[in-house]
Chains A and B, each alone.
Chain A
Amino acid sequence: MRSIYADNSATTAIAPVVLEKMMPYFTEIYGNPSSLYRIGGKAKEALEKARENIAKNLGAKFPSEIFFTSGGSESDNWALKGVCHALKSKGKKHIITSKFEHHAILHTCQALEKEGFEVTYLDVYENGIVHPEDVENAIREDTAIVSIMYANNEIGTVQPIAEIGAICKKHGVLFHTDAVQAAGYIKIDVTEQNIDLLSMTAHKIHGPKGCGLLYVRRGVKIDNLIDGGAQERNRRAGTENVAGVVGLDAALQLSLDTMEERNAKLIKMRDRLIDGLLKIERSRINGDRVHRLPGNVNMCFEGIEGESLLLKLDLNGISASSGSACTSGSLDPSHVLLAIGLPHEIAHGSMRLSFSDENTEEDIDYILEKVPEIVNYLRAMSPLWEKIKKEEAAQIS
């Protein structure tokens, strides 16, 4: 049976060239970067070299604006909690975000609400895109920070980050973006795009899990999230994940070097797949078709439930995901799909396929063969589909 990994928005395989660069830092140059002896000094050197290159690749003015973390969730937590706690004494108690952020943002906002902060959750409309004018209208005297994701993790819609950045700059409000899904697929320039804080992680772009970063523009007041030793210029304690950082740098570099060609290939595959799957009756594509990550396909099929679709796909060798309730252990369907206005019963039947450089046109052929078969099979045993067809027939007659 064919085996297709189509869940690259969840995580990716480490690229061989990235792994190769990381290996010496596990076994040879394993010293603690804070130590004085040579093996520590060499590790420190690798760390700072990576920081410098990453800063350049993200358009940061100074390497010291890059802080290494354990990944996207930590970076998101730190950005919001750190800034809000630092600005609280100045009377800033308001946060602006969107309804379809990652839970690392939404649950952090909820935690801050419990502390007395107020949060405005902006609408993302039917196509899954935040309107910059809504950001402007929501800004208040006491707004501490605006946090809008660069690209959505479920439906892949790309947000007008530069426009939002310009608005925040105009009003003197800090702007954070969670770029976990966008990095490596979209050219990010924190200076040009007026981004004050940015989260990213290595494992979505063929780097290792457990290593990410928070970009913090010089001059931004931010409290620590993790207290302890003096690492990361006293801002983030804990012995540095040197191999991880080397991997993060190598993965970002690789993704930028290959971006243009890879995106062109992925967009072609994505669009062929979407067009093919839309031929299934009562199917829909979720999120804007143009302002969308090159490798993201998110569809709903009425009358079936997402988890059973995923299990069937898995039995056919296809690894996919759904925004569905069932996989996350809650009974509610995806908050992202509800945010773009889908009713519960349709949002339950979602499927996300996310591709990387390693996928091929043959993978798309296979998926185009299997998905309609599975959808038909599940619909044939679905009392909901039976109802939909009955209503349809009643409307015609």
Chain B
Amino acid sequence: MAYSEKVMDHFANPRNVGEIENADGIGEVGNSKCGDIMKMYIQVENDIITDVKFKTFGCGAAIATSSMATEMIKGKSINDALKLTNKAVMEALDGLPPVKVHCSVLAEQAIKAAISDYYKRKGIDPEPFVGKVPECDECGCNL
């Protein structure tokens, strides 16, 4: 198994690591049993994601996909961020080994979870916008 140069770059120099104090939305997906947890913080102004930070427990691909996903939604509208797919994250990283595809799925879900939280905090039901964020037992790792 080998990672692309882009994956290694985002692993070695991850962008947007950390927390946002008084974030407008926080999403956490994955679990420690499976070996990856992603936590994403967003700051939203006029429907634009003005800042995003992440913390990740996981493998190289989990850290790299978190980093890439945050770069891809920073400065974007909520609507555009919701359109980000795991496939787009993977492509931006020049691909992932097959066993690591679930990391990119986790990154997509982390963004959706943060946006859901943002809507909930505003008293809006997120489901019509975000859809259902899959539960961990749907990831297929059988734990």
Minimum CB–CB distance from B52 to chain A (whole Å) comes to 14
Chain B residue numbers with a CB within 8 Å of A324 are 35, 59
Chain B residue numbers with a CB within 8 Å of A330 are 99
| Residue of A305, A344, A385 with most partner-chain B CB within 10 A | A305
When the two chains form their complex, are residues B37 and A325 in contact, meaning their CB atoms are under 8 A apart? Answer: no
Number of interface residues of B (CB under 8 A): 31
Q: Given A327-B1, A381-B14, does the pair A344, B57 have CB atoms closer than 8 Å?
A: no
What sequence of 0s and 1s flags, for each residue 3-26 of chain B, a beta carbon within 8 Å of any chain A beta carbon? 000001001101001100000000
What sequence of 0s and 1s flags, for each residue 23-53 of chain B, a beta carbon within 8 Å of any chain A beta carbon? 0000010001111111100000000000000
Q: Given A344-B33, A381-B14, A384-B37, does the pair A307, B59 have CB atoms closer than 8 Å?
A: yes
Bound-state CA distance A41–B17 (Å) is 67
Chain B residue numbers with a CB within 8 Å of A386 are 55
Q: Given A311-B11, A329-B99, does the pair A381, B60 have CB atoms closer than 8 Å?
A: no
Interface hits, A169-203 → B, CB 8 Å: none
When the two chains form their complex, are residues A348 and B55 in contact, meaning their CB atoms are under 8 A apart? Answer: no
Minimum CB–CB distance from B113 to chain A (whole Å) comes to 12
When the two chains form their complex, are residues A331 and B56 in contact, meaning their CB atoms are under 8 A apart? Answer: no
Chain B residue numbers with a CB within 8 Å of A331 are 34-35, 99, 102, 141, 143
When the two chains form their complex, are residues A308 and B143 in contact, meaning their CB atoms are under 8 A apart? Answer: no
Closest to B141 in A: A331
| Residue of B35, B55, B61 with most partner-chain A CB within 10 A | B35
Q: Given B8, B12, B57, which contacts A382 in the complex, CB threshold below 8 Å?
A: B57
When the two chains form their complex, are residues B55 and A381 in contact, meaning their CB atoms are under 8 A apart? Answer: yes
Minimum CB–CB distance from B32 to chain A (whole Å) comes to 4
When the two chains form their complex, are residues A305 and B36 in contact, meaning their CB atoms are under 8 A apart? Answer: yes
What sequence of 0s and 1s flags, for each residue 306-349 of chain A, a beta carbon within 8 Å of any chain B beta carbon? 11100100010000000011110111110000000001110010
Whether a CB of chain B sits under 8 angstroms from the CB of A383 is yes
When the two chains form their complex, are residues B32 and A344 in contact, meaning their CB atoms are under 8 A apart? Answer: yes
Chain A residue numbers with a CB within 8 Å of B59 are 305-308, 324, 326
Q: Given A305-B36, A333-B35, does the pair A311, B57 have CB atoms closer than 8 Å?
A: no
Number of A-B contacts (CB under 8 A): 76
Whether a CB of chain B sits under 8 angstroms from the CB of A47 is no
Minimum CB–CB distance from B17 to chain A (whole Å) comes to 5
Minimum CB–CB distance from B108 to chain A (whole Å) comes to 17
Chain B residue numbers with a CB within 8 Å of A343 are 33
Bound-state CA distance A348–B36 (Å) is 9
Whether a CB of chain A sits under 8 angstroms from the CB of B107 is no
Instruction: Decide if the interface of chain B is mainly helix, strand, loop or mixed.
Output: mixed
Chain A residue numbers with a CB within 8 Å of B18 are 381
Whether a CB of chain B sits under 8 angstroms from the CB of A287 is no
Q: Given A311-B11, A327-B1, A331-B141, does the pair A382, B35 have CB atoms closer than 8 Å?
A: no
When the two chains form their complex, are residues B33 and A383 in contact, meaning their CB atoms are under 8 A apart? Answer: no
Whether a CB of chain A sits under 8 angstroms from the CB of B114 is no
Closest to B34 in A: A331
When the two chains form their complex, are residues A315 and B12 in contact, meaning their CB atoms are under 8 A apart? Answer: yes
Closest to B67 in A: A381
Minimum CB–CB distance from A290 to chain B (whole Å) comes to 31
What sequence of 0s and 1s flags, for each residue 93-105 of chain B, a beta carbon within 8 Å of any chain A beta carbon? 0000101101000
Whether a CB of chain A sits under 8 angstroms from the CB of B73 is no
Interface hits, A367-385 → B, CB 8 Å: 381-385
Whether a CB of chain A sits under 8 angstroms from the CB of B63 is yes
When the two chains form their complex, are residues A383 and B17 in contact, meaning their CB atoms are under 8 A apart? Answer: no
Q: Given A348-B32, A382-B55, A386-B55, does the pair A329, B1 have CB atoms closer than 8 Å?
A: yes
Whether a CB of chain B sits under 8 angstroms from the CB of A303 is yes
List chain A positions with a Cβ less than 8 A from chain B: 303-308, 311, 315, 324-327, 329-333, 343-345, 348, 381-386
Q: List 30 A-B contacts (CB under 8 A).
A: A304-B57, A305-B36, A305-B57, A306-B59, A307-B59, A307-B60, A308-B11, A308-B63, A311-B8, A325-B35, A326-B35, A326-B59, A326-B99, A329-B1, A329-B97, A331-B35, A331-B102, A333-B35, A344-B32, A348-B32, A381-B17, A381-B56, A381-B63, A382-B55, A382-B57, A383-B39, A383-B55, A383-B57, A384-B57, A386-B55
